[in-house]
């Protein structure tokens, strides 16, 4: 969205916070190793490393969690965002029949109508419209004219 | 019904082409179709409840005859997510071109008549006209 100056400042702060959040593990690991190495070379290994150990351990744990433990995504978001999650074995969207039913019942065929009736996002509504067109349920897009509903209920 | 409106990329083009800042095709028809509903802004131009800025932006690109409708659009208060500005005790439709996963997730438990419609005037320049005929006329 087009931002005002104030909005840019807010966005800048949010970006900085995101950067720190995303790089906390690397920062902890780097700081821990630096402290360890400085201690090691300046005291020939005689000093205690109690400051660096927690940082290295914590940093390593966060990195391990990030890279090896899968993140759980809420099902609704996963369904909406993944192209393949909504497709059955025949490559058909699992809401195809509902979309067909809605279009035949309402006699209307548009992405907005599909969004309204099936509560899906724009991308999925476009995909359902393409499938309906491929299967001859609706006619092709023709500029600003409404799509023709070919099949009857 | 309550209707919540974004501006940039929804009512006015924001893509970096010659269309930047121009009103979407069908904006007058869209405004006329929603005029008898309770209208609210849900835009970054209005987070603290003062609707002056979005009203000014939209009046710049619309005919004077539409200004009374635009002036009737009320402000909302929200901070990090637009869903904070929505009155969830009422039925509503929210029109926006960019809905975050976090905001979308709020609709998991929403009622049938609490909806968000993703507008895409970038790839579908006639989207507002489509919404008027296929969504708003049914309300």
A2 interfacial to chain B (CB closer than 8 Å):
yes
Interface test with B, best of A112, A117, A126, A130 (most B CBs within 10 A): A112
CB B54, CB B73: distance < 8 Å: yes
CA distances (Å), A136 to each of A87, A116, A146, in order?
Answer: 19, 22, 15
Q: Which residues of chain B have pLDDT under 70?
A: none
The Cα B54–Cα A114 span in angstroms is 29
Do A76 and B115 make contact, defined as CB atoms within 8 angstroms? no
What pLDDT, on a 0 to 100 scale, did the predictor assign at position A27? 81
Residues A55 and A28: their CA atoms lie apart, in Å, by 5
CB contact residues (below 8 A), chain A span 119-138, against chain B: 119, 121-122
**Predicted TM-score (pTM) of this structure:** 0.69
Label residue A19 exposed, middle or buried (CB < 10 Å: 0-12, 13-18, 19+): exposed
Residues of chain B positioned with their CB less than 8 A from the CB of A110: 130, 133-134
Please give the span between the terminal C-alpha atoms of chain B, in angstroms, as a whole number. Answer: 8
Q: Of B66, B120, B54, nearest to A125 (Cα)? A: B120
Burial (0-12, 13-18, 19+ Cβ within 10 Å), B105: middle
CA A58 to chain CA centroid, Å, is: 27
Cβ contact B2:B92 at 8 Å: yes
Spell out the domain ranges in chain B: 2-138
Note down pLDDT in tens along chain A; length 153 residues: 444 455 556 656 666 666 666 677 788 888 888 877 777 777 766 666 666 777 778 878 877 777 776 655 455 555 555 444 566 666 788 899 999 999 999 888 999 999 999 988 888 999 999 999 999 999 998 877 888 898 765
Tokens of A101: 């039913």
Give the domain B2-138 fold: Rossmann fold (3.40.50)
Q: Write out the H or E segment, with its range, that includes residue B38.
A: strand B38-41
Q: What was the ipTM of the complex prediction?
A: 0.83
């Amino acid at each position: 969205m087009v931002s005002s100056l104030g909005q840019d400042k807010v966005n800048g702060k949010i970006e900085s916070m995101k950067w720190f959040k995303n790089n906390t593990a690397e920062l902890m690991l780097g700081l821990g190793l630096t402290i360890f190495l400085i201690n090691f070379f300046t005291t020939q290994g005689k000093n205690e490393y109690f400051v660096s150990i927690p940082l290295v351990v914590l940093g390593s744990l966060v990195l391990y969690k990030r890279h090896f433990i899968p993140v759980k995504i809420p099902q609704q978001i996963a369904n909406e965002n993944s192209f393949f999650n909504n497709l059955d074995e025949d490559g058909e969207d699992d809401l195809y029949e509902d979309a067909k039913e809605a279009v035949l019942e309402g006699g209307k065929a548009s992405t907005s109508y599909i969004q309204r009736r099936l509560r899906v996002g724009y991308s999925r509504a476009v995909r359902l419209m393409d499938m309906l067109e491929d299967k001859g349920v609706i006619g092709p897009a023709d500029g600003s004219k409404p799509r023709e509903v070919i099949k009857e209920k | 019904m309550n209707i919540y409106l974004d501006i940039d990329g929804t009512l006015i083009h924001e893509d970096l082409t010659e269309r930047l800042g121009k009103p979407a095709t069908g904006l007058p028809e869209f405004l006329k179709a929603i005029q008898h509903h309770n209208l609210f802004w849900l835009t970054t131009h209005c987070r603290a409840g003062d609707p002056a800025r979005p009203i000014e932006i939209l009046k710049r690109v619309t005919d004077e005859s539409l200004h009374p409708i635009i002036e009737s659009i009320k402000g909302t208060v929200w901070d990090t997510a637009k869903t904070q500005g929505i009155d969830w005790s009422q039925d509503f439709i929210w029109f926006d071109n960019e809905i975050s996963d976090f905001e979308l997730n709020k609709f998991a438990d929403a009622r049938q008549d609490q909806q968000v419609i993703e507008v895409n005037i970038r790839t579908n320049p006639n989207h507002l006209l489509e919404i008027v005929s296929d969504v708003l006329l049914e309300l």
